[in-house]
Copies of this chain bind each other. A is one copy, B any other.
Amino acid sequence: MKGIRQLADHLDISIGTVSRALNGKPDVNDETRRRVLEAAEKFGYVANQAGRSLRKGATGIIGFMMQTGHEITGQGDTFFMSVFDGVQTVLARHKLDLVALLCSSEEDPDAYMKRVVARGFADGIILSATRYRDDRFGTLHKAGIPFISLGRSRSDVGQPWYDLDFEGMAETAIDRLVAKGHKKIAIGRPEGEINLGYVFEERCHAALARHGLRLDPAHVFRSRPNESGGYKLARNFIAAPAQPTAMVLLNEATVIGFYRGLEEAGLTPGREVAVIGQYSPLVQFLSPRLTCFRPALRDLGVAVAESLLSTMPAFADAYPQAPRQCLWPMNFIEGESG
């Protein structure tokens, strides 16, 4: 690891400018900032916070990186609030604080993570919204910062991860629908590069194939992970060729819009169309009752925090048994919708 002086020498820029670039001050031009951040990453520079270095693990802060932005409104909400609650329960035992590192949807998450690392912000990081390929894993790994991912990625570097068991959800939902006689089953998954969409679609393919059925590409619907996205899903579902008779919805926020879209078309979940989805606190206000999968999110937060701390020397002794990788169960709740 290099200090700020070596970084400045290498770049032939003054220490003051390097410091301002690292600290996000406005009076540095973009090209200089880019060069500084690149070099900082290359040389593993980590900000020295009054002697508290990230590597020594002494900021007292655990960062939870999440995406923000208007098109994901509806998502960032109850899911994260419940997980945070569990994470904080564990961190409180060690006088650690949780902060949410908010990456705007208009910003590249990889660049954001490089800045977080350069700023020397947290003792450990929890990543969410993991993508199929995700450079944040490599950035954290190279910098030697303890982290855990809530979700998997092809960019896995052997770090601990916890992920909801979307494979299990796919299997159970497909088996159930096939047993009820459905042959044309559609799925709804988030648009974009979020890894869970791939995991889920792949397993639905496989589960249908086991029954000698195929997942029609025209029956794989992508949407924004919010209420309006679900409403559009319903309209696309209704207009689809070779009309499917059942829908498995991956995202919990889409359910309410999907119900509404069906209702407007005179279709009732569980009667003309089978619907299986993911639980959210809103589900209890839907009629007919949704058949769905419910993960224990607060407990997930507890487990994720313990797993992360088990990889950090200062806390590892307290968690000798914490699993490092885990597919987190989704409990099946029988409803009337499918």
Contact = CB atoms under 8 A, between A and B. Distances in A.
Interface residues of A, number: 69
A209 interface: no
A106 interface: yes
B107 A92 contact: yes
B68 A81 contact: yes
Interface stretch (A20-28, A162-170, A174-182, A267-275): A20-28
A76 B70 contact: no
Q: How many copies does the complex hold?
A: 2
Interface in A88-137: 88-89, 92-102, 104, 106-107, 115-116, 119-121
A329 interface: no
Given A281-B226, A282-B282, A285-B256, A25 B76 contact: no
A85 B100 CA distance: 14
A227 B282 contact: yes
B100 A99 contact: yes
Contact of A48 (B50, B59, B72): B50
A179 to B, nearest CB: 30
Contacts of A161: none
A308 B285 CA distance: 39
B85 A81 contact: no
A259 interface: yes
Contact of A259 (B47, B74, B285): B285
B58 A26 contact: no
A78 interface: yes
A300 to B, nearest CB: 13
Question: Which has the most chain B C-beta neighbours within 10 Å: A61, A73, A228, A315?
Answer: A73
20 contacts: A19-B51, A48-B50, A50-B51, A69-B81, A72-B81, A73-B78, A73-B81, A74-B77, A74-B281, A88-B102, A89-B104, A97-B101, A97-B116, A98-B102, A99-B101, A226-B281, A227-B284, A256-B285, A260-B284, A260-B285
Return the 8 tightest CB-CB contacts between A and B, nearest first.
A77-B77, A24-B60, A100-B100, A24-B95, A88-B104, A260-B285, A49-B49, A73-B81
